[in-house]
């Protein structure tokens, strides 16, 4: 086998081709939504909604229903519940997230603990199994990804205004409650799309890390989103390729590559600030 054959080896398999398409979609989608997550300081919500999906997955598993449907319903209901509790009970957003996601996750564990059936199928949702993406799973990933992209595109300006200055946005007539709920539901769908890739345990990293890396390099919104998208795609596609070559877990490799990119941007940003400080020093 030549060196070029070794480089192209992953693309010879159908399951790897599907995995790379899924990685491309998820990397772009998570990093785009992650820009809003980082700007709004909602880093906790990715982990929260990912764990909340376990209740829907457990119910679907026990009832013999569709995993995608169960996870989607549980995650969307939890996302809307977080917004409702935050507004009506007037508790902080992180408190609402903490209460509801732990309750949903506990419900999933409670239901599974009462079942005598094997739980092997649930492991892929906990830790991810992108290599097992079927044509049906890929169609669901692309379909949900397109829905999220349409929502973000349609609500571009309201999302931008409410992310930077919600008070001014509300004074300008923007329906802040509707925009917040739409963002929560879109994040929930994005998490569902990502579960097959990295699983419940690591999905929050894809929402936060690429956008956090971009925030180290720029504070302008559009460049930040573009950089975040580039980091997300690089992490997912590059991590998947590296996991094939290294015979390692794909989800963990993807997250580790995203973290390495964050550390690199952090070092670059710190060095740039030091140079700027020295240039303005008397």
How does residue 227 score in pLDDT terms, banded at 50, 70 and 90? very high
Dihedrals φ, ψ of 117, to 5°?
-80, 155
Q: How far, in Å, are 70, 214, 270 from residue 197 at the CA level?
A: 18, 22, 32
102-161: per-residue pLDDT in tens?
Answer: 898 899 888 888 776 655 456 667 777 788 888 888 888 888 888 888 888 888 888 888
Find the mean pLDDT for residues 251-271: 91
Task: Map out the domains of the chain with their CATH numbers.
Answer: 3-280 (1.10.3470.10)
């Amino acid at each position: 086998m030549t060196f070029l054959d070794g480089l192209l080896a992953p693309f010879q398999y159908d399951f790897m081709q599907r995995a790379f398409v899924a990685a491309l979609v998820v990397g772009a989608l998570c990093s785009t939504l992650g820009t809003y997550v980082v700007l709004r300081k909602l880093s906790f919500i990715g982990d929260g909604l990912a764990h909340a999906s376990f209740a829907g997955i457990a119910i679907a598993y026990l009832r013999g229903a569709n995993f995608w449907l169960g996870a989607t319903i549980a995650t969307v209901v939890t996302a809307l519940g977080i917004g409702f509790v935050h507004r009506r009970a007037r508790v902080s957003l992180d408190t609402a997230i903490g209460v509801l996601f732990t309750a949903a996750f506990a419900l999933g564990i409670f239901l599974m603990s009462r079942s005598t059936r094997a739980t092997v199928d649930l492991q892929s949702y906990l830790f991810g199994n992108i290599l097992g993406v079927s044509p049906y799973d890929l169609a669901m990933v692309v379909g949900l990804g397109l829905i999220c992209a349409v929502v973000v595109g349609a609500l571009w300006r309201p999302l931008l205004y409410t992310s930077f200055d919600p008070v001014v946005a509300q004074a300008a007539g923007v329906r802040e409650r509707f925009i917040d709920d739409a963002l929560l539901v879109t994040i929930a769908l994005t998490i569902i799309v990502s579960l097959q890739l990295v699983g419940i345990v690591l999905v929050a990293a894809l929402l936060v890390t690429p956008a956090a890396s971009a925030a180290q390099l720029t504070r302008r919104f559009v460049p930040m989103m573009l950089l975040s998208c580039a980091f997300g795609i690089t992490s997912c596609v590059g991590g998947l390729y590296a996991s094939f070559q290294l015979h390692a877990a794909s989800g963990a490799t993807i997250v580790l590559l995203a973290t390495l990119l964050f550390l690199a941007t952090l070092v670059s940003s710190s060095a740039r600030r030091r140079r700027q400080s020295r240039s303005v020093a008397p």
